[in-house]
Amino acid sequence: MKDDVSFLIEAAKKAAGNAYAPYSNYHVGAALLLNDGGIVTGANFENASYGMTLCAETIAIAKASSDGQMDKIIAIAVAGGPAGKIAMGDAVTPCGRCRQIIKEVADVTKRDIPVHCVHANGHHTYKLSELLPNAFGPSNLA
Ligand code: THU
């Protein structure tokens, strides 16, 4: 039987197949593991006004939040690559904006969320605190 991480990575790869990325042709999928075993996925969503693009991670997290499930998120997997060649090169790591979005999840869940970044030969797992050290977050506003 596949373990949770392998299952989550497969879900991220599959989600990348739903990317709407006609401008970059770079397809990204993200999958969130919930503490009840559920999985929420997202894929990047581009726009002719390029800067309006939404990343896969942000979409997945917004989906979970809008379904009232943000506090259940315990891990994230991200996979991507040129269309039809998911994870054939370097690991996809979340962009700066997505790291800040994940920071919100880390604070709400009180977990240093593991982010499994898929690359050609497997995956590398980072903690959010490694990807975004000394982050600004909800506690700064208190
Ligand atoms: N992208 C993501 O969806 N997530 C990342 O972590 C990195 C970049 C998307 C944005 C854009 O649609 C495409 O990848 C190329 O930058």
pLDDT confidence of residue 1: 42
pLDDT confidence of residue 87: 77
Tally of domains within the chain: 1
Which CATH number belongs to the domain containing residue 134 in this structure?
Answer: 3.40.140.10
Q: Tell me the residue range of the domain where 59 lies.
A: 5-141
Contacts of 35 (CB under 8 A, 6+ apart): 72, 73, 74
C-alpha torsion 16→20→26→28, nearest 10: -30
Ligand 1, atom 2, lies closest to the CA of: 55
CA distance 59 to 4: 21
- The answer to whether residue 57 is catalytic is yes
Q: What is the pLDDT along the chain (142 residues), one digit of tens a residue?
A: 468 899 999 999 999 999 999 999 999 999 999 999 999 999 999 999 999 999 999 999 999 999 999 999 999 999 999 987 887 778 899 999 999 999 999 999 999 999 999 998 999 999 999 999 999 999 999 8
Mutate to test the pocket of ligand 1, among 13, 44, 102, 117 (most ligand atoms within 8 A of CB): 44
CA distance 37 to 19: 24
Mutate to test the pocket of ligand 1, among 28, 115, 128 (most ligand atoms within 8 A of CB): 28
Q: Is 18 in the pocket of ligand 1 (CB under 6 A)?
A: no
